[in-house]
Amino acid sequence: MKIKIIISLFLFSFLASCSSQSEYCNERFEYCLNYPAAFEPFGSSKSGDGQIFYIDGGKIELLVWGSVNGQKRTLEQEKQYISQNRTVEYQTIKSKFFVISGFENGKVFYLRTEKTQNGFRSFEIRYPKEEKETYDKFVEKINFQEKK
């Protein structure tokens, strides 16, 4: 009985942290990312282009970064470049962003890249295939906004 109560409390706490949002803002590339508060920041890159977030010690990863488009790639060219060596199951491209999703190294990945004035901003979430149903819902709660 105690174990059921403890598990129930843990699940309630986890679900509550999934429904509340946090915000990460990047000064260098002038964007903010809203994401589920269940993710814990792990560290930013030395170049200041992004951040890594984890749930459960890295079992679930969220990466966010900005990049300068020095090679003047189109969104289609950037999509092709990022898609290399991946099993892409879904892809779409619009005028200002693209999305690819699929499988890599036993995990599901979902990647969204948006065109900015000087480059791109991207986020990618990775999670185990067997937990796809649970973490697919997280994708809907992750989005960029302009830095205020």
Q: Answer yes or no: is pLDDT of 15 > 70.
A: no
Q: What's the pLDDT score for residue 2?
A: 56
Q: In 45-86, at which residue ranges do the beta strands (DSSP E only) sit?
A: 50-55, 60-68
Sheet of strand 31-36: strand arrangement: 21-26, 31-36, 143-146
Q: pLDDT digits over 117-143, tens only?
A: 989 999 999 999 999 999 999 999 999
State the average pLDDT over residues 8-27: 66
Q: Pick from 129, 143, 113, 111: which is nearest to 59 by CA?
A: 129
- Check whether 10 has a pLDDT greater than 90: no
The share of the chain scoring above pLDDT 90, in percent, equals 78
State how far the Cα of 143 lies from the Cα of 127, in Å rounded to an integer.
18
Give me the mean pLDDT over the 22-50 stretch. Answer: 94
Q: Which domains does the chain have, with CATH numbers?
A: 21-146 (3.40.1000.10)
Confidence class of residue 3 from pLDDT cuts 50, 70 and 90? low
For 9-21, the three-class secondary structure string (H helix, E strand, C coil) is HHHHHHHHHHHCE
Sign of the Cα torsion 65, 63, 100, 21 reads negative
Per-residue model confidence (pLDDT) at position 148:
67
Mean per-residue pLDDT for 21-25?
96
8-state DSSP, 70: T
Return the half-sphere exposure (C-beta side, CA atoms, 13 A cut-off) of residue 119: 15
User: Rounded to an integer, what distance in angstroms lies between the CA atom of residue 87 and that of residue 100?
Assistant: 10
* Strand-pair category, 60-68 with 50-55: antiparallel
pLDDT at residue 35 above 80? yes
Question: What is the overall mean pLDDT for the chain?
Answer: 88
What pLDDT score does 96 carry?
Answer: 97
Can you give the pTM of this predicted structure?
0.85
Determine phi and psi for 53, rounding to 5 degrees.
Answer: -130, 145
Pair of tokens at residue 133:
């149903």
Q: What is the mean pLDDT of residues 60-74?
A: 96
pLDDT at 46 (0 to 100): 87
